[in-house]
Structure 1
Amino acid sequence: MPHLVILYTPNLDKPASQGGVDMSGLCRALADAMLAVRDEQDKQVFPTGGTRVLAYPAAHSAISDGGAAGIAAGLGGDYAFVYMNVRMAKGRSAAVHQRVGDALNAVVKERFAEQLARRPIGITVQVDEGIEVFDAKNSSLHPLFNRT
């Protein structure tokens, strides 16, 4: 862990000039931001080999009023939505939770500045801490980063 899962409306899978966003670039920027977060002892919060960002377009969606208010406001009715949820293991401080949220939100503000200014779009960034009832990990990634 952590795992950041992004669900988004498929109308964002377009070039930025058409109101979309580079989802692969967004995923990389979010992963880099997560890896840069430090705790109160200036240690990297998330293990490099365990940090994952996955984005999925929604096969089906309905947003708000379907576009009527956007059309009436002259912004168009092609609403978009992005939901980002990062789930991390239990035990980190409230300050770390805030740092993670702030880091992710800074990426969102930068990457979606044009869309937020030009089209009706909603973006949620959520940080959750999990209490695992079962937690098995099988990974050949971690050893790549745990070498001394």
Structure 2
Amino acid sequence: MPHLVILYSGNLDRPEAEGGTDMRALCRALADAMLTIHDEGGRQVFPTGGTRVLAFPAAHWAIADGGDAGEAAGMGRDYAFIYLNLRMGRGRSAAVQKRSGGALEAVARQHFAEQLSRRPIGITVQVDEGPEVFDAKISSLHPLFTPLRST
């Protein structure tokens, strides 16, 4: 299951020269980071075939005071926001959960470093663990990453 869902203000979809970002590159970097996380026993935490990063822009948004403070600080009125929510299944240790959040935070911080230095932008990284009441998985992806077993 590891799903990382990203919600963001639609102004980040503009070209980079106009204050946007390459969301596809961010998604790939986040997925790659997830695949490097290991538990205390050295096992990969997130299965390759189950790792998904999905990003959705908001068509409409309102952030903070609408730009007054940014304007007063000389950073402009063009606020942006990005929310990253990692949902993982139960059973992983608190250390693995924190390591996962820290890895995602590091990627987001690096990806948005230039923007953070010049414009008002908020980034939230949240890790949730679910008590699922129903959890069905249908996949033809997982077999691609599972070693063949001899019978």
Normalised-by-shorter TM-score class = over 0.9
Structure 1 gaps, min length 5: none
- Offset at 1:13? 0.9
Match for residue 130 of structure 1?
130
Match for residue 104 of structure 2?
104
SS of 2:43's equivalent in the other structure is coil
- The RMSD of aligned alpha carbons is 0.8
Which residue identity lines up with residue 43 of structure 1 in the other structure? Answer: R
Aligned residues: 148
1:99-142 Cα offsets, whole Å, 9 max, x none, are 10111011011100001001000000000001100011111000
Which residue identity lines up with residue 46 of structure 2 in the other structure? Answer: F
Q: Residue 32 in 1 paired to residue 18 in 2?
A: no
TM-score normalised per structure 2: 0.96
- Offset at 1:63? 0.4
Match for residue 9 of structure 1?
9
1:77-115 Cα offsets, whole Å, 9 max, x none, are 010000000000000000100110111011011100001
- Offset at 1:59? 1.5
In the TM superposition, structure 1's runs of 4+ consecutive aligned residues that sit over 6 Å from their partners are none
Identity between Structure 1 and Structure 2 (%): 72
| Distance in 1 of aligned mates of 2:19 and 2:115 | 6
TM-score normalised per structure 1: 0.98
Match for residue 55 of structure 2?
55
- Offset at 1:39? 0.5
| Distance in 1 of aligned mates of 2:33 and 2:3 | 13
Structure 2 gaps, min length 5: none
SS of 2:110's equivalent in the other structure is helix
Match for residue 71 of structure 1?
71
Match for residue 19 of structure 2?
19
Which residue identity lines up with residue 2 of structure 2 in the other structure? Answer: P
- Offset at 1:15? 2.8
**Mean Cα deviation higher: 112-121 or 13-22:** 13-22
